[in-house]
A and B are shown apart, each in its own frame.
Chain A
Amino acid sequence: MTAAQIRFATLWRREVNRFMKIKKQTLGAPLLETFLYISVFGAALGSRIKELHGIEYVVFVIPGLIMMSFAINSFANNSSSILQQKFQGAIQDQLSSPASPLELLLAFSFGGFMRGLIVAGLTFIAASLLVDLPVDHILVLVPSLFLVGFFFSQLGVLTGVRAEQFDDVAFVQTFVLTPLIFLGGVFYSATLLPQPFETLTHFNPIYYMINLVRYGFVGFSEVSIPLSLLALTAATAGLFAVNLRLFSRGYKLRA
């Protein structure tokens, strides 16, 4: 391995090691939360709703839950890891190393991405054991999930870098992300909503992400798949470019 490869592997290992050390909080809690959603919405409500667009209700809900766990965990990991290290001053050890802005950004991003991937993967395995979950379009599902994970990793990095206190991170997660995800159609179809809520849902970017992942699993979508994939790719690339610029400038990282 070259010195640069060792450096990048170490930066990444540190991020993964951090959440693995507090597994109960970083992996256990989100898994339990997802399991509770499946129980409440799938078993309890599902017995009344039965089907949506010809799909068993619990199967309709699970793709959105998998996408949600990938997104929230990618975001939460990176935002709190960066803010915590800024608080402790420990981030100075990485910042004063020869690591480039790109290496630092990718390592912080992949930490959250890995956590999201693990939680989403375990959710998928658990859901597959409970219900018959199809995978209809794997070539849409895999890139969609990876783009969702990477997008929220970037959002987590951006929030962590900008944040000056834990309240700043909690604000984005509680007052921005959670409402957008819940109102993006994880638990229902937007076509069932009365106006103007049906139209308003189309302005929620997470609606398109949920539809991409749902299409990958069950083959049903309310939006254009190519257009949604294109928009998600563009948004992820845009956010990555913004973060790279902030890291290169040392924004709120270097005095």
Chain B
Amino acid sequence: MPEDALRIEDLVKRYPTGVEALRGVSLDIAPGELFALLGPNGAGKSTLIHCTTGLAQPTAGSIRVFGHDAIDDYGKARQAVGLAPQELNLDWFLTVEETLDYHAGYFGMPKRERRERTKELLETFSLTEKRDERTRTLSGGMKRRLILARAVMHRPRLLILDEPTAGVDVELRLELWHYVQRINQEGTTILLTTHYLEEAEQLCDRIAFINDGQIVGEGTSSELAGRYGVANLEDAYLALVGRNELSRSKIEVVS
């Protein structure tokens, strides 16, 4: 039986301030899955992602990426992960091309392969004309493209997308989703967080709800809706956060 792409067991993250961002999270994502993690702001989504990628240190529990422990065997675990973070965390000193080249270098990719892969991704993400521009001069949409290109640059087997379409226009959002679906079909496992529920519903095989540092529901969108006794994923989400009164089914249409 193949190793899970991501296996998280009883993960606890307590910050020095005493805030417990994750309170015993367990999660399994199979290889090749497109998995969505949904929850309100502050629920623990980004903390879970940071613990998986080494940006935060778990207080307790374990994380395994394709069988490699994220703490004891961090080199192999991180090699398998690509992260497109929520923040536009680009280095202002670097050009678009350098951003991709350096990232691949950090992951040990040889020079010739880096050059070919950079060229390919610049074209894929319509960044070729911007290749020599410093990242701080890019528009928000261009930065978002570059962050996704950087995340896939070293060909990770698990791609983590933390709200990748926040603040982007419709055209770019659709472009990004087409790309994500394509690489998923080619075998890349994807963990996605988003606030666009209809996208999670359409794109993802399985969805988990996280709230107050705990996984409170997991399954397909219809399974989740059934669990909360509502018609769709959005209503299930509203039930989760205790805001049923916002359900569209309860809005009266005035003619």
User: Which A residues have a C-beta under 8 Å from some C-beta of B?
Assistant: 1-4, 6-7, 9-11, 13-14, 17-18, 21-22, 85, 88-90, 92-100, 250, 254-255
Report whether A4 and B90 are in contact in the complex, using a CB–CB cutoff of 8 Å.
Answer: no
Instruction: Name the residue on B nearest A11 (C-beta).
Output: B106
- Contact in complex: B89, A88 (CB < 8 Å): yes
* Chain B residues within 8 Å of chain A by Cβ, number: 34
- Cα–Cα distance between A9 and B105 once the two chains are bound (Å): 8
Residue of A nearest to B107 (CB): A97
> Are A6 and B98 also in contact (CB < 8 A) when A97-B78, A255-B50 are?
no
Provide the bound-state CA to CA distance between A98 and B102, in Å: 13
Surface stretch bound by A, among B51-59, B119-127, B201-209 = B51-59
**The residue from A6, A18, A254 contacting B105, defined by CB atoms under 8 A apart:** A6
The 12 listed contacts between A and B (C-beta, < 8 Å) are A7-B107, A9-B105, A10-B105, A22-B93, A88-B90, A88-B92, A96-B78, A97-B78, A97-B103, A98-B106, A254-B56, A255-B55
By a CB distance below 8 angstroms, the chain B residues around A14 are 94, 102
Q: Which residue in B91, B94, B110 is a CB contact (below 8 Å) of A1?
A: B110
A100, B93: Cβ atoms under 8 Å? no
Known contacts A6-B108, A98-B75, A255-B56: does B102 contact A92 (CB below 8 Å)? no
- Quick one: which of A10, A13, A85, A100 has the most chain B CB within 10 A? A10
Any A CB within 8 A of the CB of B83: yes
Interface residues of B in 22-62 (CB under 8 A from A): 47, 50, 53-57
B108 touches A96 (CB 8 A): no
In whole angstroms, what is the CA distance A42 to B54 when docked?
A: 53
Partner of B110, one of A6, A17, A89: A6
Question: What B residues does A17 contact at CB under 8 A?
Answer: 93-94, 98
Q: Closest chain B residue to A19 by CB distance?
A: B93
In the bound complex, do residue A93 and residue B106 qualify as a contact, i.e. CB atoms below 8 Å apart? yes
Please name all residues of chain B whose beta carbon is closer than 8 Å to the beta carbon of A22 when the two chains form the complex: 93
Which partner residue on chain A sits nearest B54 by CB separation? A96
**Interface residue SS majority, chain A:** helix
How distant is the Cα of A252 from the Cα of B150 in the complex, in angstroms? 24
Among residues 62 to 116 in chain B, which have CB atoms less than 8 Å away from a CB atom of chain A? 74-76, 78-79, 81, 83, 85, 87, 89-94, 98, 102-103, 105-111
* Min C-beta distance of A102 to chain B, whole Å: 12
B15 and A255 contacting across the interface, CB-CB below 8 Å = yes
Q: Are A254 and B57 touching (Cβ within 8 A)?
A: yes
Q: In the complex the two chains form, is B75's CB within 8 Å of A96's CB? A: no
Whether B103 and A254, one on each chain, are in contact in the complex, defined by CB atoms closer than 8 angstroms, is no
Contact partner, B85, options A2, A85, A92, Cβ 8 Å: A92
Distance between Cα atoms of A89 and B56 in the complex (Å): 13
Interface centre among B55, B78, B92, B98 (most CB of A within 10 A): B55
The 7 closest A-B pairs by CB, nearest first: A10-B105, A3-B108, A89-B89, A97-B106, A90-B91, A255-B56, A98-B75
- Which one of B57, B105, B107 contacts A250 once the chains associate, using CB atoms below 8 Å? B57
- Cβ-defined contact, A255 with B106, below 8 A: no
For residue B154, which residue of chain A has the nearest CB? Answer: A97
Which residues of B lie under 8 Å from residue A255 when comparing CB positions?
Answer: 15, 47, 50, 55-57
**Which residues of B does A touch, CB under 8 Å?**
15, 47, 50, 53-57, 74-76, 78-79, 81, 83, 85, 87, 89-94, 98, 102-103, 105-111, 150
Closest CB in chain B relative to A50 CB, distance in Å: 47
Known contacts A250-B57, A254-B56; is-contact A94 B106 (Cβ 8 Å): yes
Closest CB of chain A to B207's CB: distance in Å? 25
Contact B107 A93 (CB under 8 A): no
**Which residues does chain B contribute within 8 Å of A13, judged by CB atoms?**
102, 105
Chain B residues in 8 Å Cβ range of A85: 91
Cα–Cα, bound, A250→B55 (Å): 9
Q: Identify the closest chain A residue to B76 (Cβ).
A: A98
Cα(A9)–Cα(B111), bound, Å:
11
Please indicate the chain B residues that have their CB under 8 angstroms from the CB of A88 in the complex. Answer: 89-92
Distance (whole angstroms) from the CB of A230 to the closest CB of chain B: 36
Pairwise interchain contact B55-A92, C-beta atoms closer than 8 A: yes
Given A7-B105, A9-B105, A17-B94, 5 other A-B contacts at CB below 8 A? Answer: A3-B109, A13-B102, A88-B91, A88-B92, A96-B54
Inter-chain CA distance A24–B81, complex, in Å, is: 38
Q: Are B55 and A254 in contact (CB under 8 A)?
A: yes
B177, chain A: closest CB distance, angstroms? 24
On whether the beta carbons of A96 and B102 are closer than 8 Å, the reply is no
Distance in angstroms between the alpha carbons of A245 and B159 in the assembled complex: 30
Kindly provide the distance from the CB of B160 to the nearest chain A CB, expressed in whole angstroms. 10
State whether A18 and B89 are in contact (beta carbons under 8 Å apart), knowing that A7-B105, A96-B55, A97-B78 are contacts in the complex.
Answer: no
